[in-house]
Amino acid sequence: MKKNDSFFLGALMVLLCMMISFPVRGEEKMPETFVDIREVVPDILLDIRYHGDHNFLGVCVDGYAAAKCLLTRQAAEALAKVQDELRPFSLTLKVYDCYRPQRAVDHFVRWAKDVDDTKTRKEFYPTVDKRNLFRDGYIAERSSHSRGSTVDLTIVPLPAPPQPSYASGQPLRECYHPAGVRFLDNSLDMGTGFDCFHELSHPDNQTIAPQVRSNRLLLKNLMEEQGFRNYDKEWWHFTLKDEPYPDTYFNFPVR
């Protein structure tokens, strides 16, 4: 083998290793295999928190140009079956987040590393040192949301009670407080607010009230029946087990 051929082969092997070692981000345009959830489940409720400033960053997150829920078609169709189960009982799903661009995850990481920015701590992580968010599994450099088959959601009774609007700068309330004390949400009582970095958010926490445990179990059972698995630190977080893109982290914007 010639010296140049050997160099080319070595460079090619390095490139292949890099492609295997690092997730491949998707193109800027949304793939045709993704859908707007409203095309599949027209009556689902949306409360897309990262399009506004009522979230743990306190600002609209990079990549959220619209308050939409985008998902792979497989995940959307599975959610439609959950909604079909709830509808006869005057209940509906409400989603907080669906597909999340990698640029949004990068925004999370930049925020987490800025330990001096604690303006949202009172509500979203009142008992957690911000320096430990990575260690405790609340923030990571990759998110299953970016693969397009993960959703954050809850259950709301119908007719849906009014959902209070958050006004930027209004006083924050600890997310682990009882319903009526924490920020009001029109969902069934799930024990904490959304994106509450607290042990009470763990789905199997045994200290929560029986009715809260029942509400969580209803959501978990319905989602698992349709092929989703629950994240063990967040009662609201579910990923489709047979997701079509298990190794791809997309970066097209939500718009």
- Whether residue 164 has a cis bond before it, omega within 30° of 0: no
Residue 28 among the catalytic residues: no
72 near 245, Cβ under 8 Å?
yes
Give the start-end residues of each E strand in 7-86: 24-25, 34-36, 45-46, 70-72
Distance in angstroms (rounded) separating the CA atoms of residues 72 and 149 = 6
CA-based nearest residue to 154, from 188, 204, 198, 196:
188
List the structure tokens of 126. 């009142």
Residue 39 exposed, middle or buried by CB count within 10 Å (0-12, 13-18, 19+): exposed
Pairwise CA distance, residues 122 & 127, whole Å: 8
| Contact of 83 with 33, CB cutoff 8 Å | no
Catalytic residue among 123, 174, 234, 243: 234
Give catalytic residues, as residue numbers.
234
